[in-house]
Amino acid sequence: MTTTIYHNPACGTSRNTLALIRNSGEEPIVIEYLQHPPSREILIQLINDAGLTVREAIRQKGTPYAELGLDDPELTDEHLLDAMLTHPILINRPFVVTSKGTRLCRPSEVVLDILQNTQQGSFTKEDGEVVINAEGQRVAPAK
C-alpha cells in the first residue's frame, strides 16, 4: 500500500509531516485537499480510521469555524461534515494513510508510528526542533 498524505503546503505541520515521510525513503501520494477535497465518504473514513470524532477533526485556527457557529455543541456530525466539505480549510491536517493505519499527524512526528520504513537520516523541523538525531534515533520532545 502506498502512503497518502492529505496536505496543505501552507501549513508547517503538514510540510514537516511530508518531509518525515520522504526522509523514510518513500514518495507518498500527495493530495492537496484544499484544491481536491475528499468526498464525504472518504472524509468519514479518514476520521473513523484515525479514531477521531468529527468535532476532533475540525480545524479552528485560521478558519471560518467561529463565524459559522461551529462551536455550538448541539450541531450534529452531519452538519459539521457539511461545513467541512463546503469549507475544506476546516479539515484538520495532515491526515496520513499507510498500511499501518491512518493518523491526523499533529504533531508531525505522529507519522513515525505508521510509516513502513525507518528514517534514513537526521531530521529537524522547520522551527529547529530535532526529531531524529544523527544516529537515526527519535528524540524526545523538549518539555
Tell me what the pLDDT averaged over the chain comes to: 95
Q: Is residue 51 part of a domain?
A: yes
Give the mean model confidence (pLDDT) for residues 107-132. 94
- The alpha carbon of residue 45 and the mean position of all alpha carbons in its chain are separated, in whole angstroms, by 14
Q: Is residue 143 part of a domain?
A: no
- pLDDT greater than 70 at residue 143: no
Q: Say what the pLDDT of residue 135 is.
A: 85
- pLDDT greater than 80 at residue 13: yes
- List the catalytic residues: 11
Q: Report which of 16, 107, 11 is spatially closest to residue 62, judged by C-alpha positions.
A: 11
Q: Say what the pLDDT of residue 1 is.
A: 74
Q: Say what the pLDDT of residue 140 is.
A: 79
Residues 6+ apart with CB under 8 A from 11: 93, 94
Q: How far apart are CA 105 and CA 10, in angstroms?
A: 15
Residue 110 structural domain: 4-132
Give the mean model confidence (pLDDT) for residues 60-64. 95
pLDDT in tens, 87-98: 999 999 999 999
- The alpha carbon of residue 108 and the mean position of all alpha carbons in its chain are separated, in whole angstroms, by 8
Q: Is residue 93 part of a domain?
A: yes
Q: Is residue 138 part of a domain?
A: no
- The number of domains in the chain is 1
Residue bearing the bigger pLDDT, 87 or 139: 87
Please give the share of the chain, as a percent, with pLDDT higher than 70: 99
Q: pTM score, two decimals? A: 0.94
DSSP classification of residue 37? P
Please give the share of the chain, as a percent, with pLDDT higher than 90: 92
Q: Say what the pLDDT of residue 137 is.
A: 86
Q: Say what the pLDDT of residue 141 is.
A: 74
Q: Is residue 69 part of a domain?
A: yes
Q: How far apart are CA 37 and CA 16, in angstroms?
A: 21
Q: Is residue 94 part of a domain?
A: yes
CATH number at 56 reads 3.40.30.10
